[in-house]
Chain A
Amino acid sequence: MNPWRQVALLAKREFLERVRSKPFIITMSLLVVAILAIGPVISMISGGADEVTKVGLAGEELPGIEQELYDQAILFDIEIEVERFPTRAEAETTLTDGRVAVVLVDGTEIVFHTSGSSQLTALVHNAVDTTLKTEALTELGLSENEIALVVEPVPVEVTTLEEQNAQDEVKRGAAFVGAIFLYISIIMFGQFVAMGTVEEKQNRVVEVILSRVRPWQVLVGKVVGIGLIGLLQLVMFSGAAYISAQFADLPDIDVAAIGLPVIASLLFWFVLGYTFYAFLYAAVGSTVSRQEDLQGALMIPIALILPGYLLAIFAAEDPDALLPTVASWLPPWAPFVMPVRIAAGVAQPWEIVVAVVGTVLGAIALVWIGSRVYSGALLRTGGKISLREAWKAAAE
């Protein structure tokens, strides 16, 4: 029988037994629903902020002020609605309730609830100014065109030297969220591998399995089967996030242009990073005989992964700094740091090649080391054996 067919059977068992389990189905469904809900929620919240600004008029009203307020609002790029109040007192009550942003009293006083907005002050002030000047100039007998020449603002072009690029900001943010997802996924599925290994040792089922297949087959089957669940979960989560983002109602953001590369990068680095760490997790898992002893052994992979995560945060802040730059080349941390630097647009092509090749080579080395420790440790039950002992036992 082809050994890879056996590996496939082992992987299939790992995959199906977990995917079919009720806790997994429930957790996945809840999380997917939660992610799907984020977009519409964001849309609702930001929609609230976009509401029309209400401007109140109280007391004596300047003729034509309402039209002028609307005209000014267009210039200021704000949407307003004018509301009239018979008395100042009523206007103030509404102002205190927050239903009106600003009130113009008697055409001479601008009232805010708390500290005023300079933008609204300027808007209302301009409206009053223009209305009064128009009236005065009309009385002086100037034609409409002449008046417009005096009171209408001269168009001035506005130029910014550096475009505030919302797209880039969001892209880096998405890459960073991706790094967190990656970190959580690698730890979570790495632990599944370690726990599955200990479980088989603790149940003694390992001897039944090993009478049929070689240790490396068990190891590869387990890593592949659990890794496929990890991929499935990431695909479902990022798919849900992508759909969710479509409903988030984000202006100026091209969701596809940001989302698809980030998702592709997440899946790619998950495969590399998970492969690298899963074999390490299996090796340390095989050295203990009981779940209770596992926590201590798991410190080894955690000690490697955690710096990667912290460096990814660092890289998100300052992608060009020396530490994240060097870390992004090295196998244990490249999967966490490099995607963030790529998203920031600072990673050179050669750096990406170094990171990918290094991680692949590192993963191959860990497959070899991990398999050997695993073989040596698997049938040693009762207590914990050191990685060194397991390594030597495999040679016997």
Chain B
Amino acid sequence: MDGSEALSMLELIDLSKRFGDVVALDGAGFVVESGRILGFLGPNGAGKTTAMRVVFGLVRPETGTVSWNGGPVGPAERLRFGYMPEERGLYPKMKVQDQLVHFSRLSGLSKTEANESVDHWLDVLGLAGRGDGKLDDLSHGNQQRAQLAAALAPNPELLILDEPFAGLDPLGVESLAETLRGLASEGVTIVFSSHQLDLVEDVCQDVAIINEGRVVLSGSLDDIKNRSKKRRLTIDVDGEPWIPDMPGVEVVDGPGPSHCIVDDDAPVADLLAAANTAGTVNRFVFEPPRLTDLFRAAVGS
């Protein structure tokens, strides 16, 4: 690749992997650019964890490649990646500080760098002063933070987090989201998987949705929403739900008034007029679909 184009970028290209009779990946691929946060979505068993493991060489794909900045990914590249696996695990009997320093040094940091970085991240993640305790002595939430620190402490250029928000309380979610945004603004590329679509919508610029081993939708969240042929219609007439009587209307769940999905060329003016005749319109919103709508459409359920 031409040096002038050397934008730090992760590409997963045409990955396939089968475990016995189970197809885990079936030509999956997506791209993330430097400093962007990508939400990696899909139902359970869709292939998210396998795809992430491929990036770290933990699973060898039958076809396809992973490239970083246009070049192949080998052991040297992987040391610049941080990984928080879905299966959480650290050494329960080892001091938190010691093991984080150990993992950072395995990633190539010097002793001093590792200690400084671990101190920094323990502080940022609210674990200051806990480094001398064993992992076992930490609460569940703090163990989760320590796990995240293991991924962050080596100061990676690419961060891949499998379900980082699972099991965090609302404050923890907010502070992790803040941390990720901060890292992205410093140029760190971030991929994380989650089932909390509202959260993804809030944190990510990009998404990739995988289903049955294939990426069925990927790109910038704004683009995808604008390109969508569907719109979300939210109507509240006299404080009651009101569903327009027309073909192709799909009613969806949502808080408050009625929510439905309609085509983007729906006759909005006619619908509003019809609602007006039914009563007092408190709310009438015609907007791009939410991520949850896109997700539902993409995975077909």
Chain A, interface size category, equals: 20 to 34
Interface centre among A207, A213, A214 (most CB of B within 10 A): A207
Give the contacting residue for A204; candidates B81, B88, B150; CB below 8 A. Answer: B88
- A252 proximal to B (CB < 8 A): no
How far apart are the CA atoms of A17 and B94 in the complex, in Å? 7
Indicate whether A204 sits within 8 Å of B89 (C-beta atoms), given known contacts A1-B76, A211-B81: yes
CB neighbors of A among B72-92 (8 A): 75-76, 78-79, 81, 83, 85, 87-92
B91 touches A1 (CB 8 A): no
CA gap between A284 and B226 in the complex, in Å: 55
Complex Cα spacing A213 to B76, Å: 10
Q: Interface of B with A (CB < 8 Å)? A: 53, 56-60, 75-76, 78-79, 81, 83, 85, 87-94, 102-103, 105-108, 147, 150
With A211-B81, A212-B107: A203-B150 Cβ-Cβ less than 8 Å = no
A109 to chain B, nearest CB (A): 76
When the two chains form their complex, are residues A211 and B92 in contact, meaning their CB atoms are under 8 A apart?
A: no
- Decide if A140 is an interface residue (CB 8 Å cutoff): no
Q: Report if A84 contacts B (CB, 8 A).
A: no
In the bound complex, what is the Cα–Cα distance between A381 and B86 (angstroms)?
13
Q: Which one, B92, B102, B103, contacts A203 given CB within 8 A?
A: B92
**Is A209 positioned at the interface, with any CB of B under 8 Å from its CB?**
yes
A1-B76, A3-B75 are known contacts. Are A212 and B106 too (CB-CB below 8 A)?
A: yes
The answer, yes or no, to whether A208 is at the interface (CB within 8 Å) is: yes
The answer to whether A208 and B94 have CB atoms under 8 Å apart is no
CB distance from B112 to the nearest CB of A (A): 15
A220-256 CB mask vs B (1 if < 8 Å, else 0) is 0000000000000000000000000000000000000
Closest residue on chain A to residue B107 by CB atoms: A212
A379 CA / B105 CA spacing, docked (Å)? 22
A384 beta carbon closer than 8 Å to chain B: no
Chain A window 1-28, contacts with chain B (Cβ cutoff 8 Å), 1 for yes, 0 for no: 1010010011001000100000000000
Which residues on the A side are within 8 Å of B85 (C-beta)? 204, 207-208, 211
Q: Is the CB of B108 within 8 A of A1?
A: yes
A322: Cβ under 8 A from any B Cβ: no
Cross-chain contact A10 with B75 (CB below 8 angstroms): no
A1 contacts across to B, CB distance below 8 A: 76, 79, 108
A214 and B75 contacting across the interface, CB-CB below 8 Å: yes
Contact (A203, B91) CB under 8 Å given A211-B58, A211-B85, A379-B58: yes
* Additional A-B contact list (17), CB under 8 Å, known A1-B79, A213-B106: A9-B102, A9-B105, A13-B102, A17-B93, A17-B94, A203-B92, A207-B83, A207-B89, A208-B85, A208-B90, A209-B106, A210-B57, A211-B58, A211-B85, A212-B78, A381-B87, A396-B60
A206 touches B102 (CB 8 A): no
Give Cα A210 to B76, complex, Å.
13
Q: State the Cβ distance, B51 to closest chain A Cβ, in Å.
A: 14
